[in-house]
Chain A
């Protein structure tokens, strides 16, 4: 059983810096592992424990993103790869999913299960996982909270929508987008840190993924930010004490 977990490095602070072209300036902003991707890693580790799976963490981003790959290794992931090329810069979810699906096709073709976080805290589009699945013609389930069973052909998972908690059986290979799930990570152990310290992750660039120049980055992204501005619809705020406030509340109650 081979599992790939896609993880993303996201800006941490509220104080995000911007480049002249209205993209986030990732160099000058603190970065962390996307919070919900921890649950994806935790789900993979659970499967490793139960079914002897081999887990590879993969991230697309600048060299700095190697930080979260090392973190994944320390947490118990077996291998890690970074998809990095200056031609990937500025990719929207459409272009990102092209790169991620190319990585599976070219570098990890015998993957049985692909895990994503439900959404990245910076863009929160929740599109990357489904789009990658569609490009690979794999079935996908979003909002997965639990993996109950897996065998050579199928995986059984629980996913919630607005109204129901549903158990699905899905043909492998498949894509799952893991939400704040029941699995949580324990802290890395000391041998994890040692492994991470010495670990040489692989780096793949655009030609190694057999992608064309115009398929990724800004050129390969159908959407672009045309303008960023402050959008202020302010009201006139009257400051009150609790008694006055209570009277205002009572007017409505």
Chain B
């Protein structure tokens, strides 16, 4: 038997679709595998009793060799008591060398639980993964200050990493997986957490990950009517609004609008950064954008180095001008 190379946590959406980040991790694992003495890639699915054929085929088509399924009707939805513990037991049994998990809220919970139980290292929010000459996992992430990048290694096994959605690209291939059911005694797991109620969140904001145009505001826009101007330009352009971590921490945007290493990774056709300095953690989320425009008053701001077009000056004035001219321009055209 091939030793288990990579184990991936197969997070499912509430409609039982495979979360995109899982496919992306599979594609990456498949690519790494070529350097990694061709060990196998397993995905662990945890859910209700149902037919998993379609999901198994889909996971196979992204490079999974084997799908390990634990199912029980008590596992229909993600359960904090069960899912992390079950994933840990699977990891314990299969002894993978590498465990990859999407850096979703659920994934982070499963990852921390599993890493502590296995007493091993976990690198969060990686922006790249590689295999060293010694067959170790090399996890890359921006580091303090945001001007530098760090390569992180792990002395123990398994080596664990989480990665945000859209850092990698998913790609389907000619490949298929076989499935394997794994029984775990759920009755033995003590329930300490109960859900009392859940309310669906609604957001009127356009999704930054799917919009063709994204305008994001940073610290520079975190005063006066900075974000009002950004929203009003975005409205005219049919763009989504995002922001830096500073903008989130100051309450100008929601967490779901934060762009960067610990927020969303985006790849719109056009990205406009308004009053954002361009720290590495922010750049990590925008690198794959088509065209990048930077608006900043500091001509030395790092963001200009990552941009295709730039304009130096006061963002309030520039936005005002863009908003006004956007309309006149349109009228002229009509």
Verify that A and B bind, or say they do not. yes
Q: State which residues 138-160 of B face A: CB under 8 Å.
A: 138, 140, 142-156
Pick the contact of A142: B14, B105, B119, B198 (CB < 8 A): B105
The stretch of B51-59, B220-228, B321-329 that contacts the partner chain: B321-329
Q: Say whether B237 contacts A249, CB under 8 Å.
A: yes
Q: State which residues 168-227 of A face B: CB under 8 Å.
A: 168-171, 174, 180, 221-227
Pick the contact of A222: B155, B262, B293, B304 (CB < 8 A): B155
Interface size, B (range): 35 or more
With A97-B116, A130-B109, A233-B287 known as contacts, the answer to whether A165 contacts B201 (CB < 8 A) is yes
Contact residues in B for A174 (Cβ distance below 8 Å):
192
Taking the complex as formed, is A20 at the interface, i.e. its CB lies under 8 A from any CB of chain B? no
Taking the complex as formed, is B306 at the interface, i.e. its CB lies under 8 A from any CB of chain A? yes
CA distance A222 to B145 in the complex (A): 23
Residue on A with the closest CB to B156? A222
With A131-B115, A143-B105, A163-B200 known as contacts, the answer to whether A242 contacts B322 (CB < 8 A) is yes
CA distance A225 to B152 in the complex (A): 5
Separation in Å of the B4 CB from the closest CB of chain A? 19
Interface size, A (range): 35 or more
Q: Say whether B144 contacts A224, CB under 8 Å.
A: no
Question: SS class of chain B's interface: helix, strand, loop or mixed?
Answer: mixed
Pick the contact of B144: A24, A142, A233 (CB < 8 A): A24
Separation in Å of the B251 CB from the closest CB of chain A? 8
Contact residues in A for B75 (Cβ distance below 8 Å):
none
B residues lining the A interface (CB < 8 Å): 14, 80-81, 104-106, 108-109, 111-113, 115-117, 119-125, 138, 140, 142-156, 192-201, 212-213, 237-238, 249, 251, 256, 262, 269-270, 272, 279-280, 287, 290-294, 304-312, 318, 321-322, 325-326, 329
Q: List 16 A-B contacts (CB under 8 A).
A: A14-B145, A24-B144, A92-B121, A94-B122, A124-B262, A130-B108, A130-B109, A131-B112, A141-B193, A163-B14, A164-B198, A169-B196, A228-B148, A246-B325, A252-B270, A253-B238
